[in-house]
Chain A
């Protein structure tokens, strides 16, 4: 896997053009453009109901779109069902984790490797996941529904990694987790991008997301209203007031 850091001049692994998604008559995503390169960590932030989850679900093939293109490695994948998108290398850790509560932790991880036949490769990747998430290894035979929220999130991420994706879509991996666990999960995300995986991260914790991301998009009412490098957006007064919980007056006073 490539480990180069200069990702900006590569052609994108995921390219979204004019994506539109509607639920019944309600247009939840109103034509957005996104790009993601290999080894890049890009975040998608925005208020509740902005359309972030809808966007990720559409990219993964869980929700159909009604306009625009989704190009994966240059190929249109917008019509493929979700299981075929995963086979191409596009994995989603859905909002709310979606672990199989009645399966054991080990079985959850095995479903992550469902499409693979390389027993040795799977075993090696299991070890990698255990190294990243030692807690998962301790709980292998536990029924996943009895795990704590943080442990479930780790299983969900580990499970997605076992499919060996090129692109990982993460929907609020920090939701409901203690700060130390969040930090741990962000470390994991960081280390997987170093292996060449592209990560598109949706986060409520905008501060943290922007700090670690190379680039970011801000969504509002189904549109991308701002984009830029993580640092630029961190310094943007509009972002600071809307998503980082700072008062405009406070900023003006500073």
Chain B
């Protein structure tokens, strides 16, 4: 029982990060029918920009409270990622909107390489230690479960962001315009909605979420690296497909389910494979799930929302 609760908690932590990134994939897919494979790398950009900010600030003004450092890191990383996301759409994808589907897909992969290479030039190839700005010291065990403030922080922040996004999409004027544009660009234009603006806003919002996910991810693993976006990006994509790509609640459910499956899988993989594999193979689960979903239920758990454009 204790292991069960512990694995659930661990799964929720990584799952809520996957969910934040998955939302970016699914929003862009919903509105453009495009898999933005560069999205995972925005998580990396967010983490490294935050790290850079924290390092510089700490050197300039020593002794600042970690929370201030964290907020400063986020305050720089989020707008930088939003700007990068906007530029990717504006320069890379916009002109390809009516091109055959393969063209934007290949562009996306190219953008991903570009971001990683730029990050490698700026921050080098080495792993950087991401400072513990929120304590990772476990608190008093509750019901036998070991929880750190950082884990609680991660879950709370991620859920708050998801709730905020759902409010934005379902209740605001911009959200309505996003949903209208996702359904039909042409008719949205006839309603006075500037589809280009709405698409740009979608990229900007998704990139902001990726930046925050990057800070959370780097905090939890205490590490930042130019290629760190690849694996969580692929897992978040898996989560989006699992939940039904284009479907926002699906991306959240998919992210959490994937986090939980991984966590339980890592806990029991040794038993399952009679000691052949150990918990360092937990990444296997994401890709087994991706394969299985694509074969048995390509529309995902909650159903695909295909962008039906005119």
Contact = CB atoms under 8 A, between A and B. Distances in A.
Contact of B191 (A61, A86, A102): A86
A54 interface: no
Contacts of B305: 102
A35 interface: no
A58 interface: no
Given A62-B189, A103-B176, A111-B188, A83 B183 contact: no
Contacts of B194: 81, 83
B190 A114 contact: no
Nearest to A90: B190
Contacts of A112: 191
B141 interface: no
Contacts of B173: 110, 114
Contact of A159 (B176, B183, B191): B191
B179 interface: yes
A102 B195 CA distance: 17
Given A101-B183, A102-B183, A82 B190 contact: yes
B192 interface: yes
B133 to A, nearest CB: 41
B184 interface: yes
Given A102-B179, A110-B176, A86 B184 contact: no
A103 B183 contact: yes
B190 A87 contact: no
Contacts of B183: 100-103
A115 interface: yes
Interface in B275-297: none
Contact of B184 (A91, A100, A159): A100
A83 to B, nearest CB: 5
A111 B193 contact: yes
Given A100-B180, A111-B180, A81 B189 contact: yes
Contacts of A94: 186-187, 190
Given A62-B189, A102-B179, 8 more contacts: A81-B189, A82-B186, A86-B189, A98-B190, A99-B187, A111-B176, A114-B193, A159-B191
Interface of A: 60-62, 81-83, 86-87, 91-92, 94, 98-103, 107, 110-112, 114-115, 159, 163
24 contacts: A62-B189, A62-B190, A81-B189, A82-B189, A83-B188, A83-B189, A83-B193, A86-B190, A86-B191, A91-B190, A94-B187, A100-B179, A100-B187, A103-B180, A107-B176, A110-B173, A110-B176, A111-B191, A111-B193, A114-B191, A114-B193, A115-B192, A159-B191, A163-B191
